[in-house]
């Protein structure tokens, strides 16, 4: 059975409280519950990891190798600053899709560049929490 790891970076534990006009009203727990339900329908296992610490996120990526067939990652603000996360994603043989709830390309200029996207098979942004679901469906399909 396929296994997918969902990694969420800094401040995503604050979803539902943090700038709901940008990120919506859903909490991370609600997003994860929706993903878990969809994963059951797709006959795959899904695990979740969230950290506000860059090194912990790198470790989670490293530990995914050999255990998971795909990674869904929302690196949060590290998207725009972390070469370490980019390198961690590039160092493992696990396809990853980068997800952002908001459209980073319609926001502040500094959010337009993603260091991590180049190490992913794709990027989904601006589709709200549904972006996670689309990433899950694509990873499960690409693992067949």
* Active-site residue list: 23, 100
Say which residues have a Cβ less than 8 Å from residue 66's Cβ, sequence separation at least 6: none
Neighbours of 125 (CB within 10 A): 21
Instruction: Give the whole-angstrom CA distance, residue 116 versus residue 53.
Output: 16
Residue that has been written with the tokens 């050999």 in this structure: 66
Instruction: Give the whole-angstrom CA distance, residue 117 versus residue 99.
Output: 9
């Amino acid at each position: 059975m396929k296994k997918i790891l969902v990694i969420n970076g800094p401040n995503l534990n604050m979803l539902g409280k943090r700038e709901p006009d940008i990120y919506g009203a859903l909490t991370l727990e609600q997003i994860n519950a929706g993903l878990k339900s969809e994963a059951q329908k797709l006959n795959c296992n899904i695990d979740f990891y969230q950290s506000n610490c860059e090194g912990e996120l790198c470790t989670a990526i490293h530990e995914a190798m050999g255990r998971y067939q795909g990674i869904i990652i929302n690196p949060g603000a590290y998207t725009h600053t972390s070469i370490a996360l980019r390198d961690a994603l590039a160092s493992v043989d696990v396809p990853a899709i980068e997800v952002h709830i908001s459209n980073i390309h319609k926001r502040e200029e500094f959010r337009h560049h993603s260091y991590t996207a180049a190490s992913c098979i794709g990027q989904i942004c601006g589709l709200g929490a549904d972006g996670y679901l689309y990433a899950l469906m694509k990873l499960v399909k690409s693992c067949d």
